[in-house]
């Protein structure tokens, strides 16, 4: 049986198992035994692919970013000739917990954030994630500004920050059910309306 497996693929699918456990029972419940069971592996196998639990979680956090990017690009590919506004809207809406997959990702992200209190590596990865998203939004908005698509008096950096943080702030309340995905999307659309020309 050995050697017929792709090592990285095994690590990725184990990370997916980690996400399912976190999404179902929270980060506290993530034990090597639980992850092994969820991934249909023995605990020895998990140990074979990850030197420590910390390394497993760190890999999982890295894998999460790749997963989100993949999901974003898949959504973009489904649109033909997306406008800059559509591009932005897609990116922002993707952050919101609208279906099972995005709910799981949001839950996992918050769990890692909480765990980052005593893990500088987690903090650094999360920092990069936030910064990368913000820059991507800034770039897109700046391009829209250059193309004359924005209303008068709009500072693209300020607007990028405001709409990004609004989306970020919506994640928790939507997860809890304080507001609905529909209302969250409408709020972001109202913001986009204010930024873009008709």
Partner DNA sequence: AGTTTTGTAATGCGATTGTATTGCTAAACC
Partner DNA sequence: GGTTTAGCAATACAATCGCATTACAAAACT
Q: Which lies closer to DNA via its Cβ, residue 52 or residue 180?
A: 52
Cα separations (Å) of 106 from 7, 28, 101, 172? 27, 16, 9, 8
Tell which positions 107-136 bind DNA, by CB under 7 A. Answer: none
Q: Which lies closer to a copy of itself via its Cβ, residue 75 or residue 157?
A: 157
CA angle 168, 173, 178 (to 5 degrees): 150
Part in contact with DNA (CB under 7 A); list of ranges 50-58, 147-155, 163-171, 190-198? 50-58
Q: Is 158 exposed, middle or buried (0-12, 13-18, 19+ CB in 10 A)?
A: exposed
Residue whose entry in the numeric block shows the structure tokens 């023995």: 42
Give the residues lining the site for DNA (CB under 7 A): 1-5, 7, 10, 29-34, 41-45, 47-48, 52-54
Give the residues lining the site for a copy of itself (CB under 8 A): 22-29, 107, 110-111, 113-118, 123, 126-127, 130-131, 134, 158, 161-162, 164-173, 176-179, 187, 190-191
């Amino acid at each position: 049986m050995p050697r017929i497996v792709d090592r990285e693929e095994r690590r990725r699918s184990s990370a997916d198992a980690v996400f399912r456990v976190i999404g179902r029972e929270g980060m506290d419940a993530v034990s090597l035994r639980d992850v092994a069971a969820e991934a249909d592996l023995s605990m020895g196998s998990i140990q074979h692919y990850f030197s420590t639990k910390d390394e497993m979680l760190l890999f999982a956090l890295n894998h999460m970013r790749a997963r989100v990017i993949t999901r974003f690009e898949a959504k973009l590919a489904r649109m033909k000739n997306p406008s800059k506004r559509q591009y932005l809207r897609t990116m922002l809406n993707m952050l919101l917990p609208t279906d099972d997959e995005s709910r799981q990702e949001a839950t996992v992200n918050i769990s890692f954030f909480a765990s980052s209190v005593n893990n500088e590596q987690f903090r650094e990865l999360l920092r990069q994630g936030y910064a990368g998203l913000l820059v991507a939004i800034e770039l897109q908005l700046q391009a829209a500004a250059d193309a004359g698509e924005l209303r008068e008096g709009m500072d693209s950096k300020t607007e990028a920050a405001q709409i990004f943080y609004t989306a970020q702030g919506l994640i928790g309340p939507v997860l809890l059910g304080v507001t609905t995905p529909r209302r969250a999307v409408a709020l972001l659309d109202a913001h986009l309306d204010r930024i873009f020309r008709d």
